[in-house]
Amino acid sequence: MNQPVYRAGDAWEVILRKLTDGPNQYGPTPRSTAVPGANRRFIWAHITLHNTQPVARKFNFDRCDLDDGQERVVPAYVDIDAFITGATNREPELAPDETITRQLIFSFPEDRSPTRLACLPMVIPLPQF
């Protein structure tokens, strides 16, 4: 998925800019590399988050998940989505009208595909891949 999808809810705006199947490694620090584990893959969601309220508020990225049947899969890693990689706070506080970008990295079963990305209350249907 390589076209932006916009959703709004609870005075937040989320744009899913891109969704990729892999790469299947993540280097959160210069000295470590994470892999998704046996029979799993990394699914990367590149998002933009905007606080539309006139007050600072926290957003917990554990509100974001992919569905795996009746189960929800929360991000294994939240990356700063910058020139360099780096794990970041799962619950940032956004100033009034502040916008941030993040990469949400999910460890997902190889043999299944999610049908949606939810960052409650916002839900984005996903194509099968």
> Could you write out the DSSP letters of every residue in 32-71?
EEE---TTEEEEEEEEEEEE-SSS-EE--GGGEEEEETTE
Q: CA nearest 86: which of 99, 103, 74?
A: 103
Residue with tokens 């940032």: 92
Residue with tokens 């970041």: 88
Q: What is the CATH number of domain 5-125?
A: 2.60.40.1240
Confidence of residue 12 (pLDDT cuts 50, 70, 90): very high
Domain boundaries, the chain: 5-125
Q: CA nearest 80: which of 57, 51, 101, 107?
A: 101
Compute the mean pLDDT over every residue in the chain, rounded to the nearest whole number: 92
pTM of the predicted protein model: 0.93
Confidence of residue 86 (pLDDT cuts 50, 70, 90): confident
